[in-house]
């Protein structure tokens, strides 16, 4: 239909279908043109990757085709530049066609479309060879924006059944292809499987096809739509309904109608963000408390007295006093302000005072959130127009439910946000009080946002301030049982879900990789947590059923008893259940006194935290042997506590739910939390892409075929002044030019260590493969192996320890310059348990003696040179030699070797990082073991075999060669 204009009007008409077709044509020419030119001119070069070439790999990836070579790169850039014009026009026309009065979604989708176009230009004209980081940033931004663009276009699609059908097909194929794409990329990058990159390339090209195809469908909608002064069919005036309009009309009484049936409010979005950030601050404070408490028994080597600080979480018990309860409920916003002492604690230098500050903050946080849950009352978060409109059907209980939903969601999503923050910052929460500007902390920025969040929340009546509590009539379950359930859930969330890598560490068994790895599979943990929480809100009866409890219990059993992927699947089932049952148990808890529910809950948290510490710290606590290595008991008690809460909630919620009408206000409020969860998922995916291991690591002196190996006890990555020490460790290991290093006291995946994975952070920054060693469910203090060389195989050992603590060991085979060399990392038992150490000595000596390959032992032996067990480690049984038997001033750390040529040995002081020095040895690969070796001065040693000079004299930052003041060399 041609548009009608008054005589004399000058009109330029561009048909929308032509714009869409032009976009599709030029985009196809850009990619296919580059592919054809590349195959013709540089076939063997563009199919080559870092591991394989033709014939193992025979089809090029998109990135290799469009960015690596001239002239195919120029072909792509020229045509993609031409594509930008129709692309901007397509986005503009789509907005004009879908814009409706009082609707924000079309604007968001249009903005996303413009953003995608600009980022496409970014990764097109900034290739990976130009600037790898910025190329990745633009590429990730483009991929992340694809999700809201796709979903937004589907929601706004006009009622054209053919177009909607094809959009769903292309969108499904696009997102479905991501699964095999990631799988084959991991097979190539991590497992180095020949031919995997070719399969990855096919799925990468498929994504391009599906992406362009999805946008090409607009041609079907633009057939009767032209770029003129006005809309020729009135689509932009809402005369033609979109798919979303029809769905909302059909589902107007269902959740989807409530969610999308109202306009988007930035004010409500900021309110939601503020509440979630309050939850983030609470979880940041709580998860830091254990680290600060642990510092003191770590240095006292036993109970220090500071452990009593964990009782600060039981502050809700004082709400048993009516006047205190009323005061807390009416002044919850002041309590939330007091929790900001936690993010501010980083300015306190004294460790004890810093602990007291965080303890106070945690006590105020537990009190504030308990009061906030308890005071969930009728006035809640209201929309006045809805109050009038739904006055006939909305009861006081319903508004109380709206308010309670908001608080539970903020609390739970705060946990997810803290896990995402740790994922983004490579294991440490950036606002923890063990962080500062020097070690990567964002304390000042985090505190600033926290102040804004509390101010924003407290300005709204009833958001964090309280009043008289209204309890609807009906049956109520047991308050104590409900408290057990809430406590169990909080402990489960804290111990297993406060870091996305914790459950992965539980199921890790070494190389070759047979299960999930921290990156990228930590995203699965976060995704399952989010979906579990959504499920709990949408289907509370099912989430609170015994069927769901059975599935959660089964998941706990599988996580505890199995390894690799199967064990991780059990962990995901448990994660889903814990998040799903959270709204159920918390909704039930508000029907009782906060002292008898939340007070009891945090008492349970204290008990469970001590329980899960004592299973590994049995040698240092009274009665410890009674629970030695009984993580299965911990998991059983956890699920029994949750089961008790489910039993009580079944009575309470069955009565209260019957009295509530779940109306549009409640669903609309939930929609903003869904948006928040979606943004967190997108951020997680982007971080996973940036952190994905490159596996292209190069030794420091590869031309000389030298291996520099070291052993260091890192004291759980907490320095002498109670600061996170990973960055200081990284600096020293990099400057010492270590190719292989064993880290002891490295298991940080417990509440008392902050549920961190410090070894992954160190390995990523240094460019090394990492074996975390025996996981936290193996009840050791940790032994980890980091290597510049590929780890072909590794086996974890728990050495005989009938009395004292378990002694962990890693026996790994590394590919060093084409030769197989074994490395053993070992932590012996304590001095107080001589029989343990004797048995461990025999076990390890036989293990080393059974290896036919060259071998390096990086160890903590607890013996003096040439005395006692030393003579078993260095013996015919093991075949091992001491790197320097004349070094008499040793007690713990030793480097032993066999069938290798040693060239150097050094001891580097620790500064204030830990309580143990770094010992380093140099070996040459491919040369026979030396006979009649002699000590020689450094001047006689080739440059590539020398230790760094910067540690001579006073050294740097408190690190210098000590004991014998300089390295020792042999020839």
Separation of alpha carbons 919 and 897, rounded Å = 14
Confidence label for 562 from pLDDT (cuts 50, 70 and 90): very high
The CATH architecture assigned to 704-970 reads: 4-Layer Sandwich (3.60)
Most confident of the following: 248-252, 612-616, 905-909, 937-941: 905-909
Cα-Cα-Cα-Cα dihedral sign, residues 211, 126, 133, 84: negative
- pLDDT at residue 474 is higher than 60: no
Contact 749, 501 (CB under 8 A): yes
CA dihedral 694, 700, 701, 707 (to 10 degrees): -90
* Burial of residue 162, with CB atoms counted within 10 A of its CB: 0-12 exposed, 13-18 middle, 19 or more buried: exposed
Most confident of the following: 245-254, 261-270, 801-810: 801-810
827 is catalytic: yes
pLDDT at 913: 94
The CATH architecture assigned to 265-470 reads: Up-down Bundle (1.20)
Between 123-137, 354-368, 871-885, the lowest mean confidence (pLDDT) is in 123-137
Q: Let me know the angle formed at the C-alpha of 483 by 482 and 489, rounded to the nearest 5 degrees.
A: 90
Contact 615, 627 (CB under 8 A): yes
Task: Concatenate the DSSP letters of all residues of 779-809 into one string.
Answer: -SS-EEEEESS-EEEEEEEEE--SSS--EEE
Secondary structure of residue 707 in the 3-state scheme: strand
Separation of alpha carbons 386 and 384, rounded Å = 5
For strands 740-744 and 881-882, give the pairing: unpaired
Separation of alpha carbons 499 and 755, rounded Å = 6
Average pLDDT over residues 641-659: 77
What's the whole-number average pLDDT of the chain? 84
Give pLDDT tens digits for 123-157: 777 776 777 777 778 877 887 788 888 877 877 77
Confidence label for 538 from pLDDT (cuts 50, 70 and 90): confident
Q: Which of 267, 364, 271 is nearest to 312 (CA)?
A: 364
- Backbone conformation region of residue 623, classed left if phi is above 0, alpha if psi is from -120 to 50, else beta: left
pLDDT at 444: 94
Spell 241-279 as b/e; 16+ CB within 10 A means b.
ebbbbebbeeeeeebebbbbbbebeeebeebbbbbbbbb
- pLDDT at residue 670 is higher than 80: no
Helices within 799-902 (DSSP H only): 834-849, 870-873
Confidence label for 718 from pLDDT (cuts 50, 70 and 90): very high
H or E, element range at 494? helix 479-497
More confident residue, 227 or 334: 334
- What are the C-alpha distances in Å from 151 to residues 16, 148, 259, 487, 675? 21, 5, 15, 38, 13
Confidence label for 271 from pLDDT (cuts 50, 70 and 90): confident
Q: What percent of the chain has pLDDT over 70?
A: 87
Most confident of the following: 122-131, 231-240, 283-292, 295-304: 283-292
Task: Single out the catalytic residue among 336, 592, 715, 827.
Answer: 827
Give pLDDT tens digits for 163-219: 778 788 878 888 788 788 888 878 887 777 888 888 888 888 888 888 888 877 777
Cα-Cα-Cα-Cα dihedral sign, residues 366, 371, 374, 379: negative
Q: Which of 93, 137, 136, 139 is nearest to 113 (CA)?
A: 93
For the chain, state the CA radius of gyration: 31
Separation of alpha carbons 443 and 433, rounded Å = 8
Average pLDDT over residues 449-466: 71
Between 55-69, 119-133, 478-492, 659-673, the lowest mean confidence (pLDDT) is in 659-673
Sheet containing 791-799: give its strands across: 791-799, 807-816, 819-827, 855-860, 893-898, 881-882
- pLDDT at residue 465 is higher than 70: no
Separation of alpha carbons 109 and 147, rounded Å = 10
pLDDT at 391: 41
Contact 701, 708 (CB under 8 A): yes
Average pLDDT over residues 470-492: 81
H or E, element range at 810? strand 807-816
For strands 968-970 and 935-936, give the pairing: antiparallel
Confidence label for 2 from pLDDT (cuts 50, 70 and 90): very low
Contact 828, 793 (CB under 8 A): no
**Residue 656, strand partner residues:** none
- pLDDT at residue 290 is higher than 70: yes
Contact 470, 332 (CB under 8 A): no
- pLDDT at residue 817 is higher than 60: yes
Can you point out the beta strands (E) in 525-620? Answer: none
Average pLDDT over residues 880-892: 91
Helices within 101-189 (DSSP H only): 105-125, 132-156, 161-189
Cβ within 8 Å of residue 62, ≥6 positions away:
31, 201, 204, 205, 208
- pLDDT at residue 889 is higher than 60: yes
The domain over range 474-662 is classified in CATH as 1.10.20: no
Residue corresponding to tokens 């047991």: 478
Q: How many CB atoms lie within 10 A of CB 573?
A: 21
Between 1-10, 229-238, 506-515, 591-600, the lowest mean confidence (pLDDT) is in 1-10
pLDDT at 379: 36
Mutual orientation of helices 479-497 and 600-614 as an angle, nearest 10°? 40
Average pLDDT over residues 548-568: 95
- pLDDT at residue 698 is higher than 80: yes
- pLDDT at residue 643 is higher than 50: yes
pLDDT at 178: 79
More confident residue, 247 or 480: 480
Q: What percent of the chain has pLDDT over 90?
A: 50
Separation of alpha carbons 100 and 85, rounded Å = 25
* Burial of residue 721, with CB atoms counted within 10 A of its CB: 0-12 exposed, 13-18 middle, 19 or more buried: middle
Q: What is the 3-state secondary structure (H, E, C) of 50-64?
A: CCCCCCCCCCCCHHH
Q: Is the previous residue joined to 566 through a cis bond, with omega within 30 degrees of 0?
A: no
CATH 1.20.1250 location in the chain: 265-470, 474-662
Q: Which of 430, 433, 449, 450 is nearest to 336 (CA)?
A: 450
- pLDDT at residue 666 is higher than 50: yes
- pLDDT at residue 726 is higher than 80: yes
Specify the long-range contacts of residues 129-136, CB closer than 8 Å, at least 24 apart.
129/67, 129/68, 135/67, 136/689, 136/690
pLDDT at 654: 64
Q: Let me know the angle formed at the C-alpha of 866 by 860 and 872, rounded to the nearest 5 degrees.
A: 65
CATH 3.60.10.10 location in the chain: 704-970
């Amino acid at each position: 239909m041609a548009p009608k204009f008054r005589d004399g009007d000058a009109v330029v008409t561009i048909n929308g279908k032509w714009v869409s077709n032009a976009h599709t044509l030029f985009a196809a020419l850009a990619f296919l043109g580059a592919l054809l030119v590349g195959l013709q001119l540089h076939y063997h070069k563009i199919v080559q990757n870092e591991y394989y070439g033709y014939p193992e790999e025979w089809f090029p990836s998109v990135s290799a085709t469009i960015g690596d070579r001239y002239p195919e790169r120029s072909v792509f850039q020229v045509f993609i530049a031409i594509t930008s014009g129709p692309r901007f026009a397509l986005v503009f026309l789509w907005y004009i066609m879908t814009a409706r009065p009082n609707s924000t979604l079309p604007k968001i989708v249009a903005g996303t479309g413009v953003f995608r176009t600009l980022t496409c230009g970014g990764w097109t004209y900034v290739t990976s060879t130009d600037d790898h980081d910025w190329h990745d940033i633009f590429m990730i931004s483009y991929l992340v924006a694809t999700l809201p663009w796709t979903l937004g276009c589907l929601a706004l699609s006009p009622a054209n059944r053919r177009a909607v059908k094809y959009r769903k097909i292309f969108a499904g194929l696009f997102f479905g292809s991501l699964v095999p794409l990631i799988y084959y990329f991991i097979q190539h990058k991590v497992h180095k499987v020949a031919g995997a990159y070719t399969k990855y390339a096919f799925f990468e090209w498929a994504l391009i096809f599906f992406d362009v195809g999805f946008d090409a469908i607009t041609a079907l909608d633009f057939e009767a739509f032209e770029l003129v002064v006005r809309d020729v069919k009135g689509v932009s005036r809402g005369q033609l309904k979109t798919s979303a309009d029809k769905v909302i009309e059909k589902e107007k009484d269902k959740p989807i109608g409530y969610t999308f049936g109202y306009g988007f409010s930035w004010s409500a979005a900021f309110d939601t963000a503020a509440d979630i950030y309050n939850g983030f601050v609470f979880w940041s404070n709580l998860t830091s408390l254990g680290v600060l408490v642990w510092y003191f028994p770590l240095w006292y080597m036993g109970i220090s007295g500071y452990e009593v600080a964990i009782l600060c979480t039981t502050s809700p018990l004082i709400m048993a006093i009516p006047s205190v309860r009323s005061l807390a409920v009416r002044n919850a916003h002041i309590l939330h302000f007091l929790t900001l002492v936690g993010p501010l604690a980083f300015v306190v230098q004294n460790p004890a005072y810093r602990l007291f500050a965080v303890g106070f903050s945690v006590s105020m946080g537990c009190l504030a959130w308990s009061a906030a849950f308890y005071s969930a009352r009728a006035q809640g978060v209201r929309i006045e127009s809805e109050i009038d409109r739904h006055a006939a059907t909305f009861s006081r209980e319903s508004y109380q439910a709206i308010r309670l939903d908001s608080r539970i969601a903020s609390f739970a999503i705060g946990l997810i946000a803290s896990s995402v923050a740790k994922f983004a910052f490579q294991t440490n929460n950036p606002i923890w009080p063990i962080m500062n500007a020097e070690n990567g902390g964002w304390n000042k920025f985090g505190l600033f946002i926290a102040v804004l969040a509390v101010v924003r929340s407290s300005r709204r009546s009833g958001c964090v301030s309280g009043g008289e509590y209204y309890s609807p009539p009906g049956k109520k379950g047991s308050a104590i049982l409900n408290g057990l359930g809430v406590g169990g859930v909080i402990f489960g969330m804290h111990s297993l879900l406060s870091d996305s890598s914790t459950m992965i560490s539980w199921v890790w068994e070494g190389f070759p990789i047979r299960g999930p790895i921290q990156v990228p599979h930590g995203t699965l943990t976060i995704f399952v947590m989010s979906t579990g929480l959504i499920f709990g809100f949408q289907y509370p009866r099912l989430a609170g059923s015994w069927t769901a409890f059975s599935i959660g219990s089964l998941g706990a059993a599988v996580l505890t008893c199995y390894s690799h992927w199967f064990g991780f699947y059990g962990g995901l089932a448990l994660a889903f259940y814990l998040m799903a049952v959270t709204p159920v148990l918390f909704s039930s808890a508000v029907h009782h006194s906060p002292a008898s529910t939340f007070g009891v809950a945090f008492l349970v948290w204290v008990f469970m935290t001590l329980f899960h510490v004592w299973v590994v710290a049995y040698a240092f606590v009274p009665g410890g042997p009674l629970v030695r290595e009984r993580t299965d008991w911990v998991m059983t008690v956890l699920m029994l506590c949750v089961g008790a809460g489910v039993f009580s909630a079944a009575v309470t919620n069955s009565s209260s739910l019957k009295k509530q009408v779940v109306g549009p206000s409640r669903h609309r409020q939930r929609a903003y939390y869904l948006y928040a969860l979606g943004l967190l998922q997108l951020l997680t995916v982007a971080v996973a892409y940036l952190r994905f291991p490159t596996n292209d690591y190069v030794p420091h002196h590869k031309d000389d075929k030298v291996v520099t190996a070291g052993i260091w006890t890192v004291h759980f990555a907490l320095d002498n002044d109670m600061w996170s020490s990973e960055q200081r460790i990284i600096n020293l290991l990099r400057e010492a030019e270590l190719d292989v290093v064993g880290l002891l006291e490295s298991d940080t995946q417990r509440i008392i260590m902050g549920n961190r994975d410090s070894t992954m952070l160190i390995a990523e920054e240094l460019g090394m493969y990492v074996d975390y060693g025996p996981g936290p469910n193996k009840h050791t203090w940790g032994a980890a192996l980091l290597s510049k060389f590929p780890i072909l195989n590794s086996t974890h050992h728990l050495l005989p320890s009938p009395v004292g603590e378990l002694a962990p060991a890693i026996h790994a085979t590394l590919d060093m310059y084409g030769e197989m060399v074994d490395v053993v990392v070992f932590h012996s038992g304590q001095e107080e348990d001589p029989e343990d150490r004797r048995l461990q000595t025999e076990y390890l000596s036989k293990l080393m003696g059974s290896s036919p390959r060259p071998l390096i032992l990086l160890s903590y032996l607890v013996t003096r040179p040439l005395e006692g067990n030393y003579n078993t480690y260095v013996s015919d049984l093991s075949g091992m030699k001491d790197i320097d038997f004349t070094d008499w001033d040793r007690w713990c750390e030793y480097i032993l070797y066999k069938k290798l040529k040693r060239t150097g040995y050094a001891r580097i002081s620790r500064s204030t990082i830990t309580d143990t020095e770094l010992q380093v040895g140099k070996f040459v690969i491919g040369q026979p073991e030396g006979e009649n070796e002699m000590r020689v001065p450094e001047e006689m040693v080739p440059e590539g075999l020398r230790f760094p000079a910067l540690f001579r004299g006073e050294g740097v930052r408190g690190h210098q060669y000590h004991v014998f003041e300089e390295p020792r060399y042999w020839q």
